[in-house]
């Protein structure tokens, strides 16, 4: 990002011009972060959160036990394990030193727990038993629980109960972001579905990712280059269209003859064989966004992906593929050093270490 200030003497005038310069590539800082794990800890994390106030890396795991693990980011050593007494630990967020919000996708409930795992409060998601279409919240890295001014926000996948009776217009009655508050004891929905969502059906790709930039909640669909920006202070929203080469290559499931007759397996296969915008993440340290794009799956286990960079005005600055045999783009966190991504190649060589390399966009 570059900024110029021009001052004219005589008739004083000050003008500020801000523009973004495209990046050429990522510089990779190897072994930037290392976590030491043992047999009592899971190798696969559901979500990862970086706490720059406490210099901690926090992650949720489901195996061998549902627990939150807190690491010293400087030493990589485990500081604390917080056990959870729930069915399945999905997303989480740290509210304060002694307070966490966690999600159980099995019983569709959110819990407030303390730093010892004691349940302090619980709130159930909205009942959708009588709804034709509903939002299924998802415990994935790109769909974190976001906390802002005593309220929580989550998103996930929009689903139809009857797959033989799909009408995208029904989405008009359903928000794509779930909002809840333990204090007010209510669950509601905000955010209107995007234009493409209302005109086409994308099957299992009808999902969204979520990130926060100051007071703006950014909701990004998997199936298009549309970005919904919700101002949480005044409850207004606007739609922005990103300019990438991927949006036009994502084809709706509804364009395929007899798609309504597809089984779950066939819908999943279609989902895997298409480009997918799997995540949109804000980097507060560099004031940029990362968009994670998954390429069509060519063989089992080989998920080719690219990580795009946008400035705060959503101008594309970089589009670069990531070595999918070396990195797992679903295991990441944003840090002061840059975008940290798990190096699975190093983990396979030494499974007591989780090594994160950092990607830094450079001009």
Structure confidence by residue, pLDDT tens digits, 229-273: 999 999 899 999 999 999 888 877 777 777 767 777 887 777 788
Q: What percent of the chain has pLDDT over 90?
A: 56
Q: E strands along 84-207, which residues?
A: 92-96, 99-104, 109-114, 119-124, 133-137, 146-148, 151-154, 156-160, 177-181, 186-190
- What is the C-alpha to C-alpha distance for residues 154 and 228, in angstroms, rounded to an integer? 14
* Torsion angle of the four alpha carbons 324, 327, 332, 333, in this order, in degrees rounded to the nearest 10: -120
Cβ atoms of 236 and 169 closer than 8 Å: no
Residues 88 and 226: their CA atoms lie apart, in Å, by: 32
Quick check: helix, strand or coil at residue 140? coil
Task: Report whether 43 contacts 64 (CB < 8 A).
Answer: no
Q: Alpha-carbon dihedral of residues 167, 292, 209, 329, nearest 10 degrees?
A: 120
Tell me the C-alpha distance between 215 and 197, whole Å.
25
Residues 314/289, Cβ–Cβ less than 8 Å: yes
| Helix (H/G/I), strand (E/B), else coil: 219 | strand
Residue pair 291/220 in contact by the 8 Å Cβ criterion: yes
DSSP-assigned letters across all residues of 23-69: P-EEEEEEEEEEEE--TTS-SSEEEEEEETTTTEEEEEE-SSS-EEE
What is the arithmetic mean of pLDDT over 127-152? 83
Cβ–Cβ under 8 Å, residues 164 and 111: no
268-280 per-position pLDDT tens digit: 777 788 888 999 9
> For residue 165, what pLDDT is reported?
67
What is the pairing mode between strands 327-334 and 316-322?
unpaired
Is the pLDDT at 287 greater than 80? The verdict is: yes
- 139 pLDDT above the threshold of 80: no
The closest alpha carbon to 218, from 339, 96, 322, 313, belongs to 313
Element (DSSP H or E) covering residue 265: helix 264-272
Of the two residues 324 and 57, the one the predictor is more confident about is 57
Q: How far apart are CA 44 and CA 89, in angstroms?
A: 12
**Cα(43)–Cα(33) distance, rounded to whole angstroms?**
15
d(CA 159, CA 201): 10
Residue for token digits 């004031």? 287
Select, from the ranges 250-259, 261-270, 296-305, 314-323, the one with the highest average predicted confidence (pLDDT): 314-323
Residues recorded for the chain: 363
Query: In which element (H, E) is residue 348 found?
Result: helix 344-349
Task: Give the model confidence (pLDDT) of 38-94 as tens digits.
Answer: 877 777 788 999 999 999 999 999 988 899 999 999 999 999 999 999 999 989 999
Q: Taking a C-beta distance cutoff of 8 angstroms, is the pair 138, 158 a contact? A: no
Separation of alpha carbons 362 and 345, rounded Å: 24
| pLDDT value, residue 46 | 86
Q: Are 82 and 101 in contact (CB under 8 A)?
A: no
Task: Look at residues 51, 147, 143 and name the one whose alpha carbon lies nearest to residue 105.
Answer: 143
H or E stretch at 16? strand 13-19
């Amino acid at each position: 990002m570059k900024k110029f200030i021009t001052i004219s003497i005589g008739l004083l005038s000050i003008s500020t011009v801000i523009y973004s310069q495209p990046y050429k590539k990522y510089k990779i800082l190897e072994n930037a972060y290392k976590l030491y794990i043992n047999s009592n800890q899971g190798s696969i994390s559901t979500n990862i959160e970086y706490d720059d106030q406490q210099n901690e890396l926090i992650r949720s795991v489901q195996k061998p036990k549902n627990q939150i693990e807190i690491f010293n980011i400087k030493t990589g050593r485990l500081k604390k394990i917080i056990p959870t007494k729930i069915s399945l630990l999905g997303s989480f967020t740290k509210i304060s030193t002694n307070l966490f919000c966690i999600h159980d996708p099995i019983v569709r409930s959110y819990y407030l727990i303390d730093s010892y795992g004691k349940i302090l409060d619980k709130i159930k998601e909205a009942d959708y038993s009588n709804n034709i279409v509903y939002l299924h919240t998802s415990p994935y890295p790109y769909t974190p629980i976001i906390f802002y001014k005593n309220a929580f926000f989550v998103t996930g996948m929009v689903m139809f109960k009857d797959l033989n009776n799909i009408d995208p217009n029904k989405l008009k009655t359903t928000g794509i972001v779930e909002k809840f508050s333990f204090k007010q004891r209510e669950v509601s929905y905000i955010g209107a579905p995007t234009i493409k969502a209302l005109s086409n059906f994308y099957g299992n790709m009808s999902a969204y990712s979520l990130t926060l930039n100051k007071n703006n909640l950014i909701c990004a669909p998997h199936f298009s280059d549309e970005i919904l920006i919700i101002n949480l202070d005044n409850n207004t929203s606007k739609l922005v269209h990103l300019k990438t080469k991927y949006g036009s290559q994502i084809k709706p499931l509804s364009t395929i003859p007899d798609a309504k007759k597809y089984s779950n397996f066939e819908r999943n296969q279609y989902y895997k064989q298409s480009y997918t915008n799997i995540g949109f993440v804000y980097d507060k340290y560099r004031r940029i966004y990362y968009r994670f794009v998954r390429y069509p799956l060519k063989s089992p286990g080989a998920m080719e992906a690219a990580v795009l960079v946008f400035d705060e005005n959503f101008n594309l600055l970089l589009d670069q593929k990531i070595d999918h045999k070396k990195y797992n783009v679903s295991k990441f966190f944003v840090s002061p050093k840059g975008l940290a991504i798990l190096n699975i190649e190093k983990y396979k060589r030494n499974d007591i270490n989780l090594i994160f390399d950092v990607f830094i966009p450079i001009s």
